[in-house]
Amino acid sequence: MAGDENDHDGLSLAELDAAYTAIMGEIVATGVAPHYAELAHTLGVEPLRAKALIARIIDLTPGWLHPGTDYIASFPPFNNQPTQYRVSVDGEQRWFAQCGFEALAVRWLFPGQTVTVTAPCLVGDEPLRIEMRDDEVLSVEPSTMVGYTRSQVGGDAANRPFR
Amino acid sequence: MNLFRSEEHARRWEEFEPRMAAMLHPVQWWADTFATPMFRARARSDFISWMSGDEGAAAFAALRERLTPPRPNVAATVAAVTALSQVDLSMLDGASPDDRTVEQHLMRAWPAAVPIDEVRQWRHTAAAMIVAIPSDPPLDVDAQMWTDARRSAVRDVQAADGWLKRAELGAGDVRLTERLRQMGWQGEPADQPAWTAMEQAARAVLLCRRLSLLV
C-alpha cells in the first residue's frame, strides 16, 4: 500500500492520517475516544465518511469497536472502556491502557511528562505501580514485576484485551 | 497481556499456559519492546502512512522478530549431543526401567542447567524415534527383548512428560532433591525437574538407538 494515494475503500492516506491523529489527540486530551459524528465535525467531513475512516483505522491497527456498535472500545495504547490498567499523567488519572503491555507505550503520547500506571495483580496481593517518563522507567514496584501473555501479541482479536 | 508482581504470581494465574512460558519476561523487557519504533510512531501526524510504508513494515518485522519465541539453544544442544555420543550404549544391556545406571552415567557427562526448550526438543526426538521403531521386531531379533525395550522407551517418554510439566511450572520434588543429593548432584534445585525430564527423554532415545541398530 506504500505510495498509494487512496486506501481500498477510496479513503486517502492523508484522510486516514488526519482521522487517526484526531482520535488519538482527543483521547490524549480527554481520556475518551470521540464518536464518529464528533470526529466528522472535527475533520469537517460527513458523519458516514468519519464512520468509514474509523472502521478502516480499526482494521489497520490493533484496536476494536465494541461488538455490535460503532463505538471505539479500544484504541491502543488506550482503552475507551475502563480496564484495570489505570494511567495517570503528571498525577492526574484520566486514562486506561488497553492491556499491561500497551500501558508501557502510553508515555510516547505524553512527551516530557510523568506517566504512572497502576493495576492490581490478577492473582491478588499488593497492587503494581510503574512510573515512566520518555525513555526512562523511573520506578517499578515491586521490582520483581513481570509481563506475560498466553497468546501472541497482536494475534487473535478476540483474545487481545484479556490474555 | 498482563503484568504480575513476580514470575511466581504469573505462574499461579489460572490462565497461565506453560506452552507460552517463553512470553514471560521482566517488565523492563516489555518496556523495551513497547519502546520500539512501532509504538513511538503513534505520535506522528502521518502514522497511518508511515505504518503502511517501508519504515512501518520494517518496524513491524523487527517487532515480530523480537516477539518470536526463542529458537533452540544450539550450544546447549551440541553440548548435550556430544555428551550423549560419548555414552557407551553397552551400559543399556540388561538395564531394567528401575536401573539407575543410565542416570548415573549421564549425570557425570551433562551440564547441570538444562534449558526447557532443549528438554522439549529431546522429548520430541524420543517420541519421534519411538514412532519410527516398528512395533514388530525383525525376524532374527528376540521378540521379548524388542517389546520390553520399546515399552521402556515409551515409559521414559511418559515420565519425561511429567517432569517437563513440573519444570515448566518451576515445581521441584522433595524426593528427587534428596535422591539427586545422594547421587552427588551439584546443580540448582530449580534445574532438577528439567534435568530429570531430559534424562528420561535421553534414556528413551538411547533405547530407540539400540533397537534401530538391530533393524
pLDDT tens for B50-79 read 998 999 989 988 888 888 765 545 555 555
Beta carbons of B4 and A122 less than 8 Å apart: yes
Q: Report the candidate in A84, A102, A101 with the shortest Cα–Cα distance to residue A93.
A: A84
pLDDT at B209 over 60: yes
In 3D, which of B16, B57, B8, B24 has the Cα closest to residue A153? B24
**B138 burial type by CB count under 10 A (0-12 exposed, 13-18 middle, 19+ buried):** exposed
Q: What is the DSSP letter of A97?
A: B
Evaluate if pTM is beyond 0.90.
no
Q: Nearest CA to CA, how far is A51 from chain B (Å)? A: 17
pLDDT tens per residue, range B21-44: 778 899 999 999 999 999 999 999
**Cβ pair B5:A126 closer than 8 A:** yes
**A3 at B interface, C-beta within 8 A:** yes
Assign A163 a pLDDT band (cuts: 50, 70, 90).
very low
CA nearest B110: which of B202, B37, B211?
B202
CA distance A124 to A119: 11
Do the Cβ atoms of B43 and A147 come within 8 Å? no
ipTM, two decimals: 0.90
Nearest residue of chain B to residue A1 (CA atoms): B52
Name, in order, each residue with C-beta under 8 angstroms of A158's C-beta and a sequence gap of 6 or more. none
pLDDT tens, residue by residue, B114-123: 778 778 888 8
Backbone angles phi, psi at A4, to 5 degrees: -70, 135
